[in-house]
Amino acid sequence: MGIRSLCHNYYTYGEAPSCAQWKTDYGNCRKWEKSKSEHAKESLRKSERARILEKQKHAPVWEMRRSPPMDWYLPLDDDKPK
């Protein structure tokens, strides 16, 4: 895990990955598995929510749909302009 993750991160971001949060989360996960500690569970939840928020900080380029387009499965129509 270590060297491969380092290589991928360096190739993508130009720096070594910071795995401290993942290590804390792993510790919390094991603690919860062993003792069902509420504190560990809350820390894990908080960390995951923060990670999701971090991913959403860039505004999306396009407007999201509520459901797939109605005509997704139709074959291409030669006459209709797209």
Neighbours of 40 (CB within 10 A): 19
Quick check: 44 and 25 in contact, CB under 8 A? yes
Distance CA 21, CA 51 (A): 10
Binding another protein (rule: CB under 8 A), the pick from 1, 12, 20, 38 is: 12
Q: Does 23 bind another protein (CB under 8 A)?
A: no
Q: Does 55 bind another protein (CB under 8 A)?
A: yes
Q: Does 68 bind another protein (CB under 8 A)?
A: yes
Q: Does 61 bind another protein (CB under 8 A)?
A: yes
Q: Does 75 bind another protein (CB under 8 A)?
A: yes
